[in-house]
Structure 1
Amino acid sequence: MKMRSRLLLTAVLLLSLGFYWLVDWIVRDVRLHYFITMEESLVDTSVLLAAQLSGDLTVDSDFAKALADAGERTLAAKIYTHTKTNMNLRIVVVDTQRQTVFDSRGTLAPGALYDWRDATLALRGAYGARTTYEDPGHAFSAHMYVAAPVMSGEDIIGAVAVGKPLISVTPFMKQARRRLVLSGLVGFAAVVLLLIPVSLWIIQPVRALTRYAQAIRDGKKAERPLLGHGGEMSELADAFEEMRDALEGKQYVEEYVQSLTHEMKSPLAAIQGAAELLNEEMSDEQRRRFLANINAESERLHGLVERMLSLAALEKRKALERGESIDLQVLIEDVTDSLLPVAQAKGITLRTAFSNPWKPKGDYFLLRQALTNLVTNAIEFSPANGTVEIRLSKPEIRVIDAGAGIPGYALDRIFERFYSLPRPDGGPKSSGLGLNFVREAARLHGGDVALRNRPGGGAEAVLTLG
């Protein structure tokens, strides 16, 4: 499972548990407050009735009849979305011996014992309240009672208990519960939807670092991803960069030492052989020839070292230190002018074509050297009296020759260091570093270079710039 999926799944699971707990806690809290509100209203009602009965516990017939009529009346009270259809208030009046004086429901006959906590406490002058299941086998038979003392001067002469079934507030609690659950689900869905871009935002640096690590693994020139400053991801990117520099530095030295050693063997052997022969007796002409060989091989070594140093400096650069606007048409004309004597010596015609010129940002010296290498190769591999064409069309520079093309076995190795093909005219091979230099310069400018055979004959180098 991908990290993003794990992160999202974990967040959804934790949010589910969190929202369930929150909604359940709020629902229970709302239920409690409904009961508190109900009890508070019963307190007011009991105190009001106790004050009305103050001084005399006698419940006259008019009061009893009014309560009976109210209990039988059909209501149509629209309370928000709930319609109340009847009055469900019960009133019980008892004396100091807890004997029933009046019961609005008629369940208790006059004189019957009302032995409940609410009245007992009220007769002591304390706050009396209770919640009782009137039918123990029925969950909806719970009633809440609040009793208040009936006074005669300073003396308590009885108590009045007012009761109401808890089921009367159940519709409001159910409605509140539905709204809370719906709000919780909507909030949960909104948070989950917000988690998707947040998870992408969190995972994006990890993906960037993964691509960066893969590029390092594949030996590609990759830039450190920009992940801000001071954060854990930025520190991790710095660690990757330091690790890359350490690995590349070690591998770089090993490869260059091996390559340079291999390439230097031949000229050094030639110089050593010629030097040993100079100690022997020989004619002046032979001595001059061996000295010329030593000079030629020395120049070859010098050129090899210079090219190696230039290429090494280029490969170690991770980005252009400064960029200037380069007129590629002017650059191409500069290269063709400088190579015109070389081309004329072989009877090669240099042609240019500018169909869509542009001015990218870059390093003029590096691009000039890269294009010089491509055009020089094209001249060397073109037949006498042939043509080399340089075409400019955004975003490419194409160098086309009319030579024999690139052998199939060399297509995959043409950009390797020190890999060089024999010249058609039998001239000495090059150092094999020119095309590698071109590729590094192109990549440093956000592009690349490709070399392929043309269907009609000849080869084509395509230098792409970013």
Structure 2
Amino acid sequence: MKISLKIFLGYFLLVGLAAWFVLVVFVDEVKPGVRQAMEDALVDTANVLAELAKRDLKEGHILNGQFAESLRNYQAKAGVANIWGIPKSTADYRVYITDSQGIVVFDSKALAIGQDYSHWNDVYLTLKGQYGARSTPINASEPDGDTIMYVAAPIVDMGQTIGVLTVAKPNSTMQPFIRRAQQKIMGWGALLFVLSLGLGIAFTWRFTRAIHRLRDYAIAVAQGKKAVAPDSSNDELAELAQAMKTMRDELDGHQHIQQAIQQLTHELKSPITAIQAAVELIQPDMPVQDRTHFLNSIKTQSHRLQQMVKNILGLAALEQQQMLELPVNIELATLVRQQVQLVQDRADQRGIALVTSLAPALLIQGDAFLCGQAISNLLENALDFSPDHSTIQIRLAPAAEGICLQIEDEGSGIPDYALNKVSDKFYSLPRPANTPNAGQKSTGLGLNFALQIMALHRGTLAIRNAENGGVIASLLWPN
């Protein structure tokens, strides 16, 4: 299923469910809302009629008094009304009056005169001084059928309840209003449905169009075509477009494979030339001292070639690796001690003190071999640039961002122009005059190798000059 369809269905489902829920609530609330309004009107009507009927009930001629005559006249000619488009031409009320004992003494429909209504809630509760109302089915055999609402009001004279007047009105008379309200709600609901559909289509089209533009840009980049990175008003898509542009700029700028081959070819020329020159100069009858010098030069340059090829292969494999395959728990203090032990003999030969301050029980998740290589490269670098009888400080401690390893030497430091280049591939500074390999350069891959290892561990490599001379190289593993 295409992402555009997934987005549309998800959006439409969300909006559709919300609209359906709102419609159901509205429709379900219409009927009780209308009935509540009708009950409120009946309360006022009952109280007004109770006041009008008080004199006739008190004087004993409620059946043929002014009140009864007025009701009969109204029922005979109820008048014609048009209520918001719904015609009304008949009287829908039934009015009955009971005495203080609950016996019906007046009924506008002449249905229950003389009957005892004291057990009905409208009469019973009103006689007790409470609000009396009830809703009763029109047909007792159909309890779920249409109902009649009864609302009562007390007839009070001199503080005494002398009777109860009840107004009854079928709930079905409100059905046209309820039906019309529901139809309007459903109509607006249908309009909302159509608008939601239109908005969903527009939203999906706009969103997926940006994705398609990103896809087309990626295809163009893969085919080597020139293309302008698409822009987008969506923050996340804009960030993705910028990330793709940056990726392309990096790929175009580095031309990784070709550049690596060119640089490697260039770097190999120097040691090969030195070996060839030494071989040509060696003669059988030359002094032993000179022969030894040339042989040592061949050995040194051969070792440099071997290291260069080894580092290039390792770096190429590392750059292709996108994530750690089998990370394990690494106790960093133990790993650092192991790497320090490997270079201890070299340091002792030159009188260099390796002073360690390692916090215990600092664990990371990673590749122990690769992390060991990164630490080893920094130690080798520090030894190469440290004068004899100096000190190298090795500190491991927790930091705010994670765990930090610092290796600080007492060398001459890095020139300002080289500070931002020392971790570049094939970039190397000549060793200082007061070191065994004075004037020589390394393969220029060690620090870049360490940089790639830290990137694989989501960490960082930082190199800066110390305030009192020397260099501080730091490895930071994040929490």
* Structure-2-length-normalised TM-score: 0.51
Shift of 1:414: 0.9
Q: For residue 363 of structure 2, give the secondary structure of its aligned residue in structure 1.
A: coil
1:409 maps onto 2:417 in alignment: yes
1:454 is aligned, of 437, 441, 466, to 466
| Per-residue deviation, 1:361 | 1.7
Q: Do structure 1's residue 216 and structure 2's residue 219 form an aligned pair?
A: no
Query: The residue matched to 1:360 in structure 2 has which SS?
Result: strand
Q: 2:393 aligns with which of 383, 388, 391?
A: 388
What's the CA shift string for 1:131-161, capped at 9, x where partnerless?
xxxxxxxxxxxxxxxxxxxxxxxxxxxxxxx
CA contact under 8 A between 1:357 and 1:392: conserved in structure 2?
no
The aligned residue for residue 254 of structure 1 is 258
CA change 1:360–1:189 in 2 (3 A) is farther
- Of residues 386-395 and 440-449 in structure 1, the stretch that sits farther from structure 2 once superposed is 386-395
Counterpart Cα distance in 1 of 2:385 and 2:276: 32
Q: Note the 1:92-131 alignment, pairs <5 A.
A: none
1:57-456 to 2 correspondences below 5 Å: 72-74=77-79, 85-86=88-89, 175-176=181-182, 178-184=184-190, 207=237, 210=241, 213-214=244-245, 216-219=247-250, 251-278=255-282, 282-355=286-359, 357-383=361-387, 384-393=389-398, 394-424=402-432, 425-426=434-435, 427=437, 428-456=440-468
Q: 1:172 to 1:284 in 2, by over 3 A?
A: closer
| Greater mean deviation of Cα atoms: 434-443 or 400-409 | 400-409
Counterparts of 2:295 and 2:472 in 1: how far apart (Å)? 40
Give yes or no for contact 1:401–1:458 (8 Å, CA) kept in 2.
Answer: yes
- Secondary structure at 1:399 match in 2: strand
Deviation for aligned residue 1:192: 9.6
Report the CA distance between 1:177 and its aligned residue. 5.1
User: Kindly, what percent of the aligned residue pairs are identical?
Assistant: 31
If the length of structure 1 is used for normalisation, what is the TM-score?
0.53
The number of residues matched between the two structures is 301
Give the gaps of 5 or more residues in structure 1: 24-68, 89-168, 221-246
1:286 positional shift: 3.2
Aligned 8 A contact 2:423 2:448 in 1? yes
> CA-to-partner distance for each residue in 1:296-319, whole Å, 9 max, x for gaps?
322222222222222222222222
Counterpart contact for 2:428–2:441, Cα < 8 Å: yes
Deviates more, 1:359-368 or 1:400-409: 400-409
What is the CA distance between 1:74 and its match in structure 2? 2.9
> Residue type of the partner of 1:298?
S
In structure 2, what is the Cα distance between the partners aligned to 1:270 and 1:387?
32
- RMSD over equivalenced CA pairs, Å: 4.8
Name 2:71's counterpart in structure 1.
Answer: none
Kindly provide the amino acid, as one letter, of the partner of residue 332 in structure 1.
V
Q: Distance in 2 between matches of 1:359 and 1:343?
A: 28
Cα distance in 2 between the residues matched to 1:401 and 1:179: 81
In structure 2, the CA distance between the partners of 1:369 and 1:199, relative to structure 1 (3 Å rule), is farther
Which 10-residue stretch deviates more, 271-280 or 169-178?
Answer: 169-178
CA drift of 1:357 comes to 4.5
SS in 1 for 2:473: strand
Query: Is 1:465–2:465 an aligned residue pair?
Result: no
Per the alignment, in what secondary structure is the counterpart of residue 395 of structure 2? strand
- Give deviations 1:138-190, integer Å, cap 9, x for gaps: xxxxxxxxxxxxxxxxxxxxxxxxxxxxxxx9977864454235435766798
Contact 2:396 2:405 in 1 (8 A): yes
The alpha-carbon distance between structure 1 residues 312 and 347, as it changes in their structure 2 partners (threshold 3 A), is: same
CA spacing shift, 1:320–1:406, aligned 2, 3 Å:
same
Q: Distance in 2 between matches of 1:288 and 1:458?
A: 34
Deviation at 1:198, TM superposition (A): 8.5
